[in-house]
Amino acid sequence: MDAIHIRGGNALFGETKIQGSKNAALPVMAAALLIEDVCMIENCPRISDVHHMQELLESIGCKVRHTNSTMTIDARNISQDTVAGENVKGMRSSITLLGAMLGRVGEATMDYPGGCVIGERPIDIHLNALRRMGVAIYEKEGSFTARAKNLEGAVISFPTSSVGATENVILAAVMAKGVTVLQNAAKEPEIVALCEFLREAGAVIEGIGGPVLIIQGGHKLHGICYRIPADRIVAGTYLMSVLGAGGHIFLEGAPIAQMRSMLRIAEDIGAEITISREGINVIAQEHKRAVPYVKTEVYPGFPTDMQSPLMSALTTAHGVSVLEETIFEDRFHIVEQLKKMGAHIEQKGRRQAVIRGVESLLGCEVTAQELRGGAALVIAGAMALGETIVRNRHFIERGYEDICRDYRNLGVNIYTA
Ligand code: EPZ
């Protein structure tokens, strides 16, 4: 139970449609809380993180329906100011409800958020930025209360780029009195999606997609219908799979413009990439080249969420590859698991891994410890000879609607058990 079985070792052929983006859907769901009206969110992925966010919104009083891929959120009546429970502790993105609650009711009591075991993941940048907007924070063991009598616009310069902190301040700023200027804001496509959603709902935001955002707060927001963009990380996962296993696949609806850094690396490895309005066509050779050095970076650099999937693909590349993780300090959990499959990887400290390509991986039982690492083990399973069993499927289900369905579309023998 809670496992994925893969009989790997064959090249991938076929096409698969890319689901809506987890990291865009979650803050957009939080943003719906700001709107005393009904919002429709189309292409909303059916994944456990979205389901948990739905439960949190319902616990605050929202009426939420998720039918097929459309979610309807009715936030006309909010009943509570406490965001608590296991869903907060287990899901990092629950922190975006902080900015949304402050914007909507001026107060929130929350448990400290949890998330994947990929590093410390503090929330100091979120809290310090909100303090500048007039928010008082009272910390207790395991939880805190944030309160703003008058939420006020401010000039906020982030010390480092943070996706979640940028989202939180945007959510508070659209409801604040006056203008908020965000400097060194995160530029990830998921921030753009959040800003577009809010702008369509009536917020005034300038500089979308850039490092400086200017938000005029206080505009009344109204219900809208918004379509979540395709998930660049899910598309990247299947891209890395075909690089690893070889073959010819089509990624229908993949967000090409958001995937430039991944596509450049795919070409360096030796894949032939053709893009069209409909998606990305990838032809990958069985014999692939190592990449001398790749480091993870904030957007538009190579994403940290793709680091483990790339590592799996490189385990059988010809030559030596070096991966450096610059965003999170503990994101090499899969190294030991890949070594069990025969990979030759040397970890240097917590930030660098040196991968010497081997002839092939061998299937065995491995354990997922977090979302993207789990997906990377499925990639390794598709590449490996024999059967691979990936334990802890629930981590993967946080972000992938049905990873087995998608791989079966690409001809992989894979099932849950
Ligand atoms: C978002 O996490 C994503 N999560 C992550 O995706 C993604 O890996 C990450 O951004 C980087 O792109 C969601 O969107 C739900 P950060 P977030 O704040 O917002 C440090 C996935 O697999 N930091 O940009 O938590 C932090 O420790 C997930 O889908 C502080 O020090 O990331 C990290 O080193 C996993 N203090 C760096 O900043 C703070 O207050 C960037 O984190 C906040 C962050």
The predicted structure's pLDDT at residue 83: 73
The predicted structure's pLDDT at residue 330: 85
The helix/strand/coil state of 393 is helix
Model pTM above 0.95: yes
Is residue 116 part of the annotated active site? The answer reads: yes
Q: Can you read off the two tokens belonging to residue 211? A: 């490092």
Pocket test for ligand 1, best of 52, 92, 163 (most atoms within 8 A of CB): 163
The predicted structure's pLDDT at residue 389: 98
Q: Is 121 in the pocket of ligand 1 (CB under 6 A)?
A: yes
Q: Is 116 in the pocket of ligand 1 (CB under 6 A)?
A: yes
Q: What is the number of the ligand 1 atom nearest to the C-alpha of 93?
A: 15
CA of residue 363 to ligand 1 center, whole Å: 32
Q: Is 393 in the pocket of ligand 1 (CB under 6 A)?
A: no
The predicted structure's pLDDT at residue 121: 74
Q: How far apart are CA 144 and CA 51, in angstroms?
A: 24
The predicted structure's pLDDT at residue 245: 97
CA of residue 163 to ligand 1 center, whole Å: 6
The predicted structure's pLDDT at residue 88: 66
User: Catalytic pick from 39, 116, 195, 404?
Assistant: 116
DSSP assignment letter at 152: B
Q: How far apart are CA 380 and CA 361, in angstroms?
A: 7
Q: Is 337 in the pocket of ligand 1 (CB under 6 A)?
A: no
Q: Is 92 in the pocket of ligand 1 (CB under 6 A)?
A: yes
Q: How far apart are CA 53 and CA 100, in angstroms?
A: 13
The predicted structure's pLDDT at residue 361: 98
Check: CB of residue 351 under 8 Å from CB of residue 307: no
CA distances from 86 to 52, 256, 383 (A): 9, 36, 36
CA of residue 387 to ligand 1 center, whole Å: 34
The predicted structure's pLDDT at residue 160: 96
Task: Quick: pLDDT tens for 219-260.
Answer: 999 999 999 999 999 999 999 999 999 999 999 999 999 999
- Report residues of the chain scoring pLDDT below 50: none
